Amino acid sequence: MKNSDLADLARNIAEKAYAPYSNFRVGAALITDSGNIYTGCNIENASYPATVCAEDVAVVKAISEGEKSIDTIAVACIDAESDTAIFPCGISRQRLAEFDTKKVIIVEKDGYKEYTFDEILPYNFKF
Ligand code: THU
């Protein structure tokens, strides 16, 4: 799958977000090293800390299906006020580090940008 297709998938899955509290819709689409695709959206909760990030949903789906490592993840969320794209939160970055994620695509209003995982989370914690 092309990076542009992964970016489009992330954009589309954001529409499935359950985000009644923040109205902040996030979509994620990842391709594993074995070539399979998994998507996720954020799922909020009235008990706010129970909210799950879009990236984490995609990671949980992939790993629970037997995937071992992630090649690329695309993340889509355009902040309506500033028109700028969001980057994964720190906890989601750490979850992605665990499964050897190589590249991150940040979806923008028009198009997307590509980053290496090391740019997104340098000196990441693993043992
Ligand atoms: N959110 C994500 O889905 N991914 C991130 O990396 C940052 C934050 C969601 C969680 C919550 O539903 C909303 O964005 C506002 O924090």
Query: What is the tens place of the pLDDT at every residue in 83-108?
Result: 889 999 999 999 999 999 999 999 99
Convert the pLDDT of each residue in 55-82 to its tens digit: 999 999 999 999 999 999 999 998 888 8
Q: In the beta sheet, which residues pair with residue 109?
A: none
All domains of the chain, ordered by start, with CATH?
Answer: 3-120 (3.40.140.10)
Strand order in the sheet with 37-41: 37-41, 27-32, 70-76, 103-107, 112-116
Ligand 1: which atom is nearest the Cα of residue 42? Answer: 3
Q: What is the pLDDT of residue 80?
A: 80
- Which protein residue has the closest C-alpha to ligand 1 atom 3? 53
